[in-house]
Structure 1
Amino acid sequence: MASSQTFDPTEHQHIRYNPLKGEWVLISPHRMKRPWGGHVEPLEDDDLPEYDPSNPLCPGNTRANGELTPKYEKTFCFDNDFPALLEDAPSPPKSDDPLFCMDSARGKCKVMCFHPKSNVTIALMKTSEIVEVIKQWINEMLDLGRKWTWVQIFENRGALMGCSNAHPHCQIWASSYLPNEARAKDRLLSDYYRKKGNPLLVDYMQKELLKKERIVIDNRDWLVVVPFWAVWPFETMVLPKKQVQRMQNLTKTQQESLAIVMKKLCTKYDNLFKCSFPYSMGWHGAPTGPDSNKDCSYWTFHGIYLPPLLRSANIKKHIAGYELLAQPQRDLTPEQAAEKMRNLSDLHYKHPETSIYPDEEN
């Protein structure tokens, strides 16, 4: 039965379509009014030392496999000691049964330390240091991308996201196949481009610039928004203002302005609940490998930040129940989340001396 009420997206439940996954998200904003009786996470101690003699990622320490981590002074990358993908592995037998399919999986896994100091996160790094991180990402994309079909850069930040080592670092997994998320995006981005003649994320970026409802950060080269279809409470997407297919296509200027955006975004995250903010983040761009010379005009390079916090530093958004068995659901609307983040200061709540000042951005 149709309601006699006038629809208000901040009050009434509705579903939104995610064109990058072909899925729907349930928005239930009225649930933000309910009292919280669920689990409260213990707060992680973010007062880490600069150097921990027991941490294998700190310069000069020995890792679990006996390898010595060199006394690096800036971004440092090495082969993962416990990789999920190996370059040389036997292939499983082919099966004629569609219910029991297997296929080969090969690849290479690397770890990349952002900074030699354990207590310096992206939010606290100098922009010049973040540029070095981006340059190293590009080097790894170029190197691994010559052989592997997909190169996934990702960072799990904080124990709440399952990170087992607090030293600021990310992982890079290169695979011989397109993972599920990339496979879905590749198909849906291609379908949209074939129908509309423009890259989906370029059209989306331009419409978000006009609407101005979900913008968190807007600078010369980049736009950060809470996506219209976001699942996580304070999820964000980093979009280039000029079409770029892969990270390795970024100009020097785009790399420098991206460093500023990353620092500002992570500072806003820390300021949101006055904590060292946990998240999982990563970058998606056109597939790589031997077949990467095919036309990928439909792909737009972009970043995704997926933080789990909902109401405070110790209340987590759990993906469970309905989300696992039916479809994604969120309470806070993307517009409300974007407004909260947009209005946060660019000065770090705990370490303002590390913040970017306006005269440093140009």
Structure 2
Amino acid sequence: MALDAKLTPNAIRHHVAENSKMRARDLADQLGIAEAALVAAKGARRITAAPDAIMPALTACGPVMGLTRNRSVVHEKVGVYENYHPGDHAALVLTADIDLRIFQSHWVHGFAVTTETDSGPRHSLQVFDAAGDAIHKVFSRDGTNMGAFEAMIGNLATGETSDSIELSARAAVETAKADVNKADILRKEWNRMTDTHQFMRLTSKLKMNRLGAYRIAGAPLVKALAPWALNDALIALGQVDAEVLVFVGNRGCIQIHTGPLNAVKSMGPWQNVMDPDFNLHLRTDHVAEVWAVEKPTKRGFAISIEAFDQHGALILQMFGRRKENDVVDHTAAFRNLIDTLPTLHSEDA
């Protein structure tokens, strides 16, 4: 199924010319097409989407900005792409600044994109899934080795010149799955966990998913917070010296920021973190459910705030920072913050 079948590439280019200041994602949504169809129609150069080819090549480019998003939040992080670990199911980039979990089966369509801005051309490589939704983007910035960046694009180029693209239907968001008859088993096995990664295996074994499990687990493992509690938490974190891990992901990539949140600024429905090397842009009006979650590990409880949209899609997760060799354990401050957040009263559920 070609999602962009109702608009020809020429028609898409006409709309782009008429809306030259509009972001590609926003225009694609307005036109009812996939973002990848819009990028292809603009004549962007096709490149391989394979992480095993892209990630090692990025190292020579020096500092760049990596962007991972879903429908409700954009996560932007500046750093150097180093320490890449390939894998059959998942690959990793592990540095203090660029911290990625990559699920390469969803890295399907790749483009090299040049966008004209008021300050000059902006260069990027952009990867999309089979439905044409953005998985991960990398943008040049001040300090990027543009010679290496251009050489990388040349090496990644496929030679494909079509201005249209065949796309699959977008997979539906999985709604909450739970079985109240297995709630006691869930709680028992949850309390036995020694690593947060065991949680998804547990829910899969019980034929549940993350949101479904949260809805039936109960205290003290989970606490339902008011939808606006996420925004309250961001504002509060901008005013204290507590470090967090912020996870934002989609089907093909999870991007993680570790550190404080300093410059928190709202603009309309968006709440924004505008720190020098980390930006977060959250649609607060998309937040439908927020949960405070505790998962046992060998080093104590991992404490998180997790937000979902009205369809049950995970928007983001935030954890109090606690890593090996950290001088300061920030989980206590994070727990204290959670205790101040508004809860969801039973009559609101």
When you count strand as a share of all residues, which structure comes out higher?
A: 2
Scaled by the length of structure 2, the TM-score of the pair is 0.27
More relative contact order, 1 or 2 (CA 8 Å, 6+ apart): 1
